[in-house]
Structure 1
Amino acid sequence: MAHTLARRNPALESHSNFGTMISQHGQEDRRVSTGSVPNTARSSPVERPAAVGRAQSVAALPTANGEVELPPGWEKRLTNTGRVFYINHTRRLTQWYPPTPEQMQLAVRNSPRPLSVALTSSPQQPTSPPPSSSPLSPSSSSYVKPTITSPAGNGRANGRPETSGTENLGDLPPKWEMRITGNGKAFFIDHNTKSTQWEDPRLLKKKQTAAAVVPYSRNYKIKYESFRNQLSHKKPENLPRMFEIPVRRNHIFEDSHRATMTCKNRDHLKARLWVKFEGEVGLDYGGVSREWFFLLSHEMFNPYYGLFEYAASDNYTLQINPDSGQCNEYHLQYFKFVGRILAMAIYHQRLIDGYFIRPMYKLLLEKKLVLGDMESVDTEFYNSVKYILDNDPEPLCLYFTASREFLGQVEEVELKPGGDSIEVVENNKREYIRLLMKWRFADRISKQMEQIKKGFNDVFPLKMLQVFDERELEYLLCGISEIDVKDWKKNSISTNGYTNESPPVVWFWKAVENFDNEMKARLLQFVTGTSRVPMNGFAELQGSNGPQKFCIKKLGEPTSLPRSHTCFNRIDLPPYKSYHELKEKLRLAIENCEGFEGVD
């Protein structure tokens, strides 16, 4: 199966794309796509702030040892060539120069300072700051150890913290803690997983109880919320901060198999994924792992490995290759790996690029196969079976057997013991059709499907998915293939001087509407890391910190190409002068992008 991502165009190597780290002395570190950028824009690895013009002469105050004292949320690092650059973790940006005084003041002002602990389940537990990787947590460098108070204590100037009427919910779960930000808003710390969140875990627990009452609701959102709550409830304690997956792009299948299948503690697969492509300098805030699932799914379904095949010559949905053992002696181990990857994609809310036949989703959900399931898989086969059902089969001289072709040889397989001597007649034709479907979709691939299920259960119980039907499971894994531009546009925002009426924004959507579906999918993959849309459309598009709308930001010179931040679903669109110029630059950016380096 061909990749939808284009390789880098050597003719454009002098250009830079969104997030590209380019030295003033040459190309030190390259990232994402290619695109023309003037030299003045090359002072920043990711984004050039408005104050860059004077930043070179204004530096942060040095400490006694000569090092720059960085404000909360900032970090100093080195490139592969030893050049210093600075990371602003709060805004997910990098730059070559130290933070300016304005940036330092902004960092200190925006850093939430915990004032008190209003509620805690275990006051004897040592308090610790929320992890710096959490989007809601204050930086560790600005952490102030809070004063532990009783629920009636003075958490704010008016005598009580703002707890939104949660005082009567009882104690927090074990090792949970509530703190108050500088503006009086409560947030909650889970010391089990070293994570923070705005929502009260006691309310989440009540939601789980309520959701259990309607596990088979036809409302997908209710099903999905119930499922996510169950996963959250079953999250193991003492998970590592991340699960690292080092891979080479040209060996992504083998390296991914090695990383995930040699994991001794299967619970670690539930930790935050940290994908590292060899030779690429980057921090995975979500965009890299999304691309990893996208590219890995291409390889898993590649006919080279012999694991899957197309259902029919005119149908490009995938089914398990019943003869996979003849193609690869390790095929069962690989199918278990496929099961783990599919489960990890669902658990981490990522999408794969590939669609299975409907019966496969039903087999995963342990649902009964019906005749209508055949129609979408093999129309010719379906019509033949439908004819038998609607007519007298005796003139056809059929027996309880099925034809199987392998390596150019056709052999007959009995559908039941002694089937080669049992003729199909009016009284037994329904049994014949049932056994034929069972053989066609289940019996031939029973060993492979068993391994996929085992791999699934290594991550979370497969039975948890039975709340969904087969179509919803497909959406859960693959998203929506047909891209609705109206929905995309409706769930987007324009920033940094752009509005929905700004000419470049209007031209952008005009260009998208004129793209064919493949180009739309490639644009979506360029900006978000995947070509698929979540089940409920663009309103549920995920960023590094949860749901995040597609964003068009005014940034860059008209001579440069658009750039993308996949972790934040954002495209930086320069103020082009015409529709044709915008469309051409957008096309070049999409067709010449690959790789993750820098902070994204």
Structure 2
Amino acid sequence: MLPSLEQRRVSLTSLKAWFPWRSECENVSQLRSLVDGTDEEELGQWSTAVADNSEDILQPATGPDGYIWRLLMRRMSLLIFHSIANSPQSAYAVSHLKVLKVLLSPAKTGALGANNSVHSTLAKDITSDLLDHNLYTHVGNAIRSIPIEAYSLSAALPLLMSLATSPFSILAPTSLSYQQSLTLLFVHILTIPLNRLPRLSQTDFSSRLPLSSLDILSLSIPDIIASSPAPESRFNLIANLYEFTRPLYRTLSLSALDVYLHFLTELMDAISISSFELKQSLYQLDPHTKERLVTISGADHLTSLLIASKRYPYSQWSLASFLLSLGAICPTWRENLLSTLLGCPGGNLVQELYREFVRTSPLGRDCSPKALMDPSFASAWPPLLLLSDLYTQSLLTMGDEEFSPTASNTIIASRNPLTLDELIDFSKKLLNIANTLWSMEDQTNVQEGRVPGINLKWEGAREKVTKCVQAIHERDSRKQFTPQDHWLVNSQIDIQSFVEAAVFEEAQQNQRLNDSGPLSKCQVALSPRLGVLNNIPFAIPVDVRVSIFRRFVTNDMSRDRSGTARLSVRRGSIAQDAFDNLAGVDIKAPIEITIIDQFGQDEDASDGVFKEFFASFCEEVFSEDRGLWLANKEQERYPNPHSYATKQHSLEWYRFIGRIVGKAIYEGHSVSVQFAGFFLRKWLGKQESFLDDLQSLDPDLWQGLVNLKHCADNPQDLNVNFTIAVDGEPLAFPPPHRALTYIPSENETHDLIPNGSNVAVTRENRLQYIQLVSHYRLSEQIKLQSEAFFEGLLEVIDSRLFRMFNQQDIGILLGSAFLPVDLVDLRKHTEYDGYNDAELTIIAFWKVVDTFDQEERRALLEFVTSCRRPPLLGFKDLVPNFTVCHAGEDEQYLPTVSKCHNLLKACLRSFRCPMSVDSLILWQLPRYKNEHVLRDKLLQAIHSDTGHPQSFTTELSQHIL
């Protein structure tokens, strides 16, 4: 606020009282009269008369009244300064400013009398007077008062900017006044929008700014920020500080560079994230300011900043803090910022951060929360968190072959900035930090406390570390490079206590869900064991996680369910009958299933009937002939991408299949179907790793894209555009049980971008093309089908429970992973009917099975249980138990099995027997006396269809008829 006229009169009165007065000084009498009684008009006329001739102003200084002249000049300076402050656009403002420029020039006033120190201190005295009368407040207001449309023509503006920098050529850099002036310049001048600082005068202005002395502001930064509370002012301060300091990067001292980066960091931390989203136009920022804010995260600026910081290795702590804040302040820039940093020339920032800071960092060694949160580690956090962000980003575009190329691959070079040994060390540090932060009993500090040395809450640091360790673990899961048990934290926790606590926390969360609906982030954070299981599950052994999963499900089963449902299905039409009769049924409730055989008779409705139902159901619905699912070369299933599969009827089938698969998992049955890795990632809600995931779907397309990615030639020579060929529509929409007939359509294509057929793939845009092709094949084509399947699956099992597993673990949970058959465990949990474990036949049986390789053992397991995979948690979980039954003394019979009971039985070697089918099925394992005979008969049975009840009864009935 400028002083009023009355305030000015008071000010002038005080000035008269302040200065001595000598009426006998004839040579300055005119000036004295002007100071004593002048009005604005007379003052302006005097300034106009002398402004362009410094000699007219300074001539009296050399006369006998030089001392009086000096005192009058100090008073005159204040008078014309207040005139400028009150009327910055008056006709005399420019003249006043020119007079002040002369008086504030040490070169001119100091040369008036070499032997007279009075003259050499005049500029300093006037500067002190102006500072006492709010120089920077009034100059800032004067600049802002000039209409924006008049800026380019304003003669006052360059003079005002010169006045703002004049103290730095007059005051001693070590003086308190110098530091205060620099602080006030940032508060009142550099918070002005950049477009109000004319470009013609910016060069002179920036050359007069003492930016090389920024280090003197190290203690004043909080005050500067607090004095500029408006977001617009802080935006302007960032833009101006960056604009004027960037040209000096190569010459700034270490201390000045550190303070500069710290200043920008503190400014960005003081602005909320939402405020920095410039696209939302929340604030009226001028175009020049917006342009500077955008270019801060540009490649040119980051490159020059990285080069400057290399001169002072220890400045990278400040650089890391700055880059972290820059990425956090505007999330829409974060990915581009990280990609730009990874691509900056002049070195490898990932390597430098790891080798110079993180490798020797104490973080991640001592796993106690107290040690981790020690304030003395403040300088260690920015490099580690920036490295976590950068390495996570680098893995998004790094293929597995680029991550760790094989020796035979001469086309693909390594893009991994860290060696595998370095990654082992780095990932262990990250795992220990993440585990400590997720496991803390009191999560209040994690939610509210801040990381020392950086404006980031602990939960933000935990997120960065967790994302990076997850990404590294995922690579290791696909192509292992870490030692055995590298990812486990067994030594840091008591497993049994962990399990019990996790089950208790899950029960608490379910209670909160029932009482108040969806859980808040704060409520979820109150469960540290669940935090570990949901975010770094690989830190806990997979068998422990599966046992926890089963405990969760058991607790859910204990809740009240609607009554038992009854389902009757016909063999050969099991899927369709189930689809027609289970709509609207509580799928979690018990279902009594009756299977009708081909003769119209009820099959055995034993405890194992759901296994038999589910095995037949999967055989029908996952058959490629049915058209809902396809298989890759590894016979892994994924939804059919053809458009007919997105029709409503097909989506209902996907939803129903998801319900039945969920029911099987819920009740602990093995799901023998193997799903493709990219589909399992969708199952778990993980972001697709586009190029690597494509390999499991279409190896030929994957190889072609890899070749394109590393092709040294110009891709334009291949005549490829931004389209992808799609298969033709089916001839007719068939019933679900019929095979499909397709019409190939070579000319049918899909545009990957608007007008993609007219956009050529070039060297510059090929990565975009590769990502779009991969995304279309992996995601877009099966989006609706996948969503329908998961909707049905999650109707049975809460998605929270699946967070404990990655895609490899899901295969184990489903029972589709090929775990070795543990004969010691199998024998321990085997029961006998008519035998005991000391009999020669049983001893020979186990000796024979012990000679089997894993494939033969799996064949035996499939023969008995309908599943080739052993129970994950051991054969104690096989219900009913594996049982070997006595079947008489005739060694001519082959072993057979009733799969509903998991009993190893026998059937006749020859069908020439006048017995009924039912009585034949009751025949059991003969008492083989010869080990070689037992081996031959057992292998013959498990490798033929005669041991299967369904095929056996069919074959026998045909023989009898």
TM-score scaled by length of structure 2: 0.37
Indicate whether 1:307 and 2:628 are aligned.
yes
- Structure 1 residue 579: deviation in Å? 3.1
2:766 corresponds to which residue?
429
Q: C-alpha distance in 1, partners of 2:758/2:828?
A: 62
Judged with a 3 Å threshold, the aligned counterparts in structure 2 of structure 1 residues 202 and 486 are, in CA distance, closer, same or farther, namely: closer
CA spacing shift, 1:567–1:304, aligned 2, 3 Å: closer
TM-superposed CA distance for 1:362, in Å, is 0.8
1:553 and 1:284, CA in 2 relative to 1: closer, same or farther beyond 3 A?
same
Question: Is 1:542 matched with 2:878?
Answer: yes
More deviation, 375-384/480-489: 480-489
1:206 aligns with 2:504: yes
- Following TM superposition, by how much is the alpha carbon of 1:284 offset from its aligned partner in structure 2, in angstroms? 4.2
Distance 1:235 1:528 in 2: 24
Q: Work out the CA distance in 1 between the residues paired with 2:821 and 2:884.
A: 17
Q: Does 1:591 align with 2:940?
A: no
State the partner residue of 2:192: none
Pairs within 5 Å for 1:17-96: none
d(CA) in 2 for partners of 1:458, 1:240: 15
Counterparts of 1:479 and 1:500, CA distance in 2: 34
Return closer, same or farther for 1:488/1:591 CA change in 2, 3 Å cut-off: farther
**Cα pair 1:359 1:369 within 8 Å, conserved:** yes
Q: Distance in 2 between matches of 1:325 and 1:425?
A: 34
Q: Separation in 2 of the partners of 1:490 and 1:424?
A: 61
Given the alignment of the two structures, is residue 363 of structure 1 paired with residue 682 of structure 2, yes or no? yes
Are 2:706 and 1:373 aligned? no
Q: Show the counterpart of 1:295.
A: 616
C-alpha displacement at 1:280, in angstroms?
4.8
**Cα distance 1:330–1:415, how it changes in 2: closer, same or farther (>3 A)?**
same
Match of 1:383 among 677, 682, 703: 703
Verify the 8 A CA contact 2:562 2:589 in the aligned structure 1.
yes
| Whole-Å separation in 1 of the counterparts to 2:609 and 2:601 | 11
C-alpha distance in 2, partners of 1:466/1:243? 30
Quick one: percent identity of the two aligned structures?
21
CA contact (8 A) 1:275 1:284 kept: yes
Map 1:180-329 to 2 at 5 A.
206=504, 208=506, 211-215=529-533, 216-218=536-538, 219-235=541-557, 237-240=559-562, 242-260=564-582, 262=583, 264-265=584-585, 268-278=586-596, 279-281=600-602, 284-311=605-632, 314-323=633-642, 325=644
Identify the residue that residue 756 of structure 2 maps to in structure 1.
Answer: 419
CA distance in 1, matches of 2:618, 2:645: 22
Structure 1 residues 298 and 436: CA distance shift in structure 2, 3 A: same
Question: Shift of the alpha carbon at 1:452?
Answer: 0.7
Return the letter of the residue paired with 2:926: P
How far is 1:416 from its partner?
A: 2.1
Amino acid at match of 1:302: S
* Alignment partners' CA distance in 2, 1:386 and 1:488: 45
| CA spacing shift, 1:284–1:513, aligned 2, 3 Å | farther
The alpha-carbon distance between structure 1 residues 362 and 540, as it changes in their structure 2 partners (threshold 3 A), is: farther
Q: 1:226 to 1:426 in 2, by over 3 A?
A: farther
Could you tell me which amino acid in structure 1 is paired with residue 710 of structure 2?
A: D
- Structure 1 residues 500 and 396: CA distance shift in structure 2, 3 A: farther
Change (3 A) 1:365 1:425: same
- CA spacing shift, 1:397–1:452, aligned 2, 3 Å: same
TM-aligned CA distance change 1:225 to 1:213, over 3 Å:
farther
In the alignment, is the contact (CA less than 8 A) between 2:627 and 2:640 conserved in 1?
A: yes
Q: Distance in 1 between matches of 2:502 and 2:885?
A: 35
Label 1:565 to 1:240 Cα distance change in 2 as closer, same or farther (>3 A): farther
Alignment CA distance shift 1:357-1:202 (3 Å): closer
How many residues get paired?
A: 385
* 8 Å Cα contact 1:324/1:331 also seen in 2: no
For the aligned residue pairs, the C-alpha RMSD in angstroms reads: 3.5
CA distance in 2, matches of 1:563, 1:347: 30
- Structure 1 CA distance for aligned equivalents of residues 532 and 501 of structure 2: 17
Provide the rounded CA distance (Å) in 1 between the counterparts of 2:835 and 2:622: 44
CA radius of gyration, larger in: 2
The 1-side partners of 2:849 and 2:702 are apart by 41
Structure 1 runs, 4 residues or longer, greater than 6 Å off: 201-204, 326-329
Letter in 1 for 2:949: E
User: Over residues 414-436 of structure 1, what are the superposed CA-to-partner deviations in whole Å (9 max), with x where a residue is unaligned?
Assistant: 11223223333333333222221
Partners of 1:408 and 1:451 in 2: CA distance: 27
CA distance in 1, matches of 2:763, 2:562: 62
Please show how residues 410-559 of structure 1 align to structure 2 within 5 Å: 410=746, 411-481=748-818, 484=821, 486=823, 489=826, 492-493=829-830, 495=832, 497-499=835-837, 502-507=840-845, 510=848, 513-514=851-852, 517=855, 520-536=857-873, 538-539=874-875, 541-544=877-880, 548=881, 550-554=882-886, 556-559=888-891
Shift of the 488–415 alpha-carbon distance from structure 1 to 2, 3 Å rule, reads farther
Distance 1:504 1:398 in 2: 67
Q: Are the counterparts in 2 of residues 562 and 571 from structure 1 also a CA contact under 8 Å?
A: yes
Aligned 1:120-199 pairs, distance under 5 A: none
Q: Structure 1: state its 5+ residue gaps.
A: 1-200
Take 1:437 and 1:378, find their aligned partners in 2: how far apart are those partners? 10
Change (3 A) 1:320 1:349: same
Give the Cα–Cα distance (whole angstroms) in 2 for the partners of residues 303 and 356 of structure 1.
Answer: 13
Alignment partner of 1:408 is 2:719: no
Report the equivalent of 2:382. Answer: none
CA distance in 2, matches of 1:562, 1:325: 46
Match of 1:352 among 659, 662, 671: 671
Alpha-carbon offset, residue 482 of structure 1 = 6.4
Which whole-Å deviations, capped at 9, do the CAs of 1:442-480 have from their partners, x for residues lacking one?
101112112112211222333431221111112222433
In structure 1, C-alpha distance between the alignment counterparts of 2:578 and 2:727, rounded to whole Å: 33
SS at match of 1:316: coil
CA distance in 2, matches of 1:500, 1:360: 48
Structure with more of its chain in strand, by fraction: 1
Q: Could you say if the C-alpha distance between residues 205 and 321 of structure 1 is closer, same or farther in structure 2, counting changes exceeding 3 Å?
A: closer
Contact 2:821 2:858 in 1 (8 A): no
State the Cα distance separating 1:412 from its structure 2 match: 2.1
Amino acid at match of 1:334: W
Whole-angstrom CA distance in 2 between matches of 1:378 and 1:488:
39
Q: 1:479 to 1:356 in 2, by over 3 A?
A: closer
CA deviation map 1:86-113 (0-9, x unaligned): xxxxxxxxxxxxxxxxxxxxxxxxxxxx
Question: What is the Cα deviation at residue 500 of structure 1?
Answer: 7.0
Separation (CA, whole Å) in 1 of partners of 2:821 and 2:863: 17
Provide, for residues 238-275 of structure 1, a one-character-per-residue CA deviation record: whole Å limited to 9, x for no partner.
32453332111121111121232x2x24xx31123322
Query: Partners of 2:726 and 2:551 in 1: how far apart?
Result: 45
Per-residue CA deviation, residues 495-540 of structure 1 (Å, 9 max, x unaligned), is 45443783444345526855883x654532332243333345x446
Q: Name the amino acid aligned to 2:545.
A: K
* 1:315–1:238 Cα change, 3 Å: closer
Q: What residue number does 1:333 align with? A: 652
Structure 2 contact 694–778 (Cα < 8 Å) conserved: no
Equivalent pair of 2:821/2:870 in contact (CA under 8 Å) = no
Letter in 2 for 1:363: K
1:577 paired with 2:914, answer: no
**Does the 8 Å CA contact 1:481/1:532 hold for their aligned counterparts?**
yes
- The Cα shift of 1:359 comes to 0.7
**Aligned partners of 1:476 and 1:534 also within 8 Å:** no
SS at match of 1:271: coil
Contact kept in structure 2, 1:325 and 1:331, CA below 8 Å: yes
Structure with more helix by fraction: 2
Instruction: List alignment gaps of at least 5 residues for structure 2.
Output: 1-498, 508-527, 729-742, 906-924, 952-961
Higher RCO (CA < 8 A, seq sep 6+) = 1
> Which segment is superposed worse, 274-283 or 454-463?
274-283
